[in-house]
Amino acid sequence: MPERRKVVIVGSGPAGLTAAIYAARAQLEPLVIEGEPSSNSDQPGGQLMLTTEVENYPGFVDGVMGPELMGIMRAQAVRFGAELRTAKVSRLELSSQPFSAWIGDPDADEPTVLADSLIIATGARSLMLGCPNEERLLGYGVSTCATCDGFFFREHEIGVVGGGDTALEEALFLTRFATKVIVIHRRDELRASKFMQERAFNNPKIEFLWNTVVVDVLGDTKVSGIRVEDTVTGETSELPITGLFVAIGHEPNSSLLKGQLELRENGYVQTVGGTSKTSVDGVFACGDVQDDSYRQAITSAGSGCMAAIDAERWLEELGE
Amino acid sequence: MSLDLSDKGDIMSEKIATLSDATFDEHVKASDVPVLVDFWAEWCGPCKMITPVLEEIAEEQAGKIEIMKLNIDDNLEITRRFDVMSIPTLILFKDGEPVSRLIGAKPKGQLLEEISPYL
């Protein structure tokens, strides 16, 4: 028989772990299926595991390292009795309650765990460019993690693709190592916050290449350049850089949910206004998997708290 | 083979020994079993994620494989020799020669799949 839990939380970023802290304190003995190690998807600790300094998380006057913050949240969840399992959910079945979750073989007859209520906190992942040679050169000059790989680009000239906060954060971080960082953006203005824009514009090592998309990554065994296209004139040219960091946005980790609960057109989970409730009774969503607007560690944590409280109330009503 | 297990307090376990520029050749070439070298650094989040996985593998596959760590901050020579440009990078050495390379944090199952043909 599969084990049965009152609350199962899928994902372990700020949303999942905050939900775990609240659910554990409500004595719901939550099981957190935290994900498996990865450098670019739904890994334990979430996207903050790929960042350095987090300066805007309240409570840390001098900032805190992303992985350290997640270590603290995890320890806090464990302290109150949450159980964390380093595994990835391979299949969910939401058509009947208790809900079923599979770890490992998704075709196994029996699910791994049955959940009276389910909290989806699977987050979002970085988008890749999808151009030729990008994947082949990943780890050989192409990177999705500036903090992991910036060190290897001392005295290099490198590019960062994207125009949001993440792109500028990475560009600014990379100026510690690189002699020049070229921010390549498909439009002629940035989506990033004014604060980050100002910092980037004032940094003498950062240059901007506007109205430009990357169409190919060049290089035999490591990156030697990129081919770019001007989106206004359609002209292509080559840019001799030795590193390319991709920060063009995110997509939600919602593929397990397709066809089972209401997703918005862009794949994000639809929640009922002002709550964490999804279109399926007893299934709650929090963090980046349902948020295509704010996407901050603190809003994720806040929505994780909401999900745990919503689940607790729902279980209480169920029991009555 | 005896290894120096003492360390400066880095995340390290008794199952995973520490390599340096100075000791790399000696240990990797002398090993009777394949050696999986974890190129890592303190500031790398995904490196921390795979540490428990590597510890498990080291324990379960004891005698069949040695798992060792090389801090890239302190050991640039070996890091450059193998053109490591992203961490975590895991390189599997057999008879002192690199036979397989894994870039980025990977789940345990995928790591085992990658190294098992060489064990």
**Cα separations in angstroms, B63 against B1, B14, B31, B34:** 12, 14, 11, 10
Tokens of B30: 């002398």
pLDDT tier, B8 (very low <50, low <70, confident <90, very high otherwise): very low
pLDDT of residue B10: 43
Query: CB of A220 within 8 A of CB of B83?
Result: no
How far is A302 from A306, CA to CA, in rounded Å?
A: 6
- Residue A89 pairs with which residues in a beta bridge? A103
Query: CB of A12 within 8 A of CB of A34?
Result: yes
Three-state SS for A178? coil
Query: CB of B99 within 8 A of CB of B116?
Result: no
Residue A236's φ and ψ, nearest 5 degrees, are: -110, 150
Smallest CA–CA separation between B83 and chain A, in Å? 8
Per-residue pLDDT of A120-139, as tens digits, reads 999 999 899 999 899 899 98
Tokens of A167: 């792109």
Per the listing, tokens 């699910």 go with A111
Cβ distance of B46 and A66 shorter than 8 Å = no
Query: CB of B42 within 8 A of CB of B10?
Result: yes
Q: Searching chain B, which residue's CA lies closest to the CA of residue A148?
A: B44
Q: Which residues have CB under 8 Å from A68's CB, separation 6+?
A: none
Nearest Cα to Cα of residue A283 among A293, A275, A291: A275
Per the listing, tokens 């995110």 go with A250
Q: Based on C-alpha coordinates, what's the Rg of chain B?
A: 13
Per-residue pLDDT of B28-87, as tens digits, reads 998 999 999 999 998 888 998 899 999 999 999 999 999 999 999 999 999 999 999 999
How far is A79 from B48, CA to CA, in rounded Å?
A: 20
pLDDT tier, B19 (very low <50, low <70, confident <90, very high otherwise): very high
ipTM of the complex: 0.77
Q: Which of B33, B41, B44, B53 is catalytic?
A: B44
Per-residue pLDDT of B100-116, as tens digits, reads 999 999 999 999 999 99
Three-state SS for B48? helix
Q: Which of A62, A107, A131, A149 is catalytic?
A: A149
pLDDT of residue B11: 45
Nearest Cα to Cα of residue A308 among A29, A2, A4: A29
Q: Which residues of B touch A136 (CB under 8 A)?
A: none
pLDDT of residue B13: 55
Smallest CA–CA separation between A154 and chain B, in Å? 11
Q: Is B61 a catalytic residue?
A: no
pLDDT of residue B9: 39
Helices A14-25, A297-319: crossing angle, 10 deg rounding: 40
Q: Is B44 a catalytic residue?
A: yes
Residue A38's φ and ψ, nearest 5 degrees, are: -165, 155
Stretches in chain A below the pLDDT threshold 70: 320
**Cα separations in angstroms, A117 against A98, A126, B77:** 7, 28, 53
Q: Which of A39, A221, A222 sits opposite B104 (nearest CB)?
A: A39
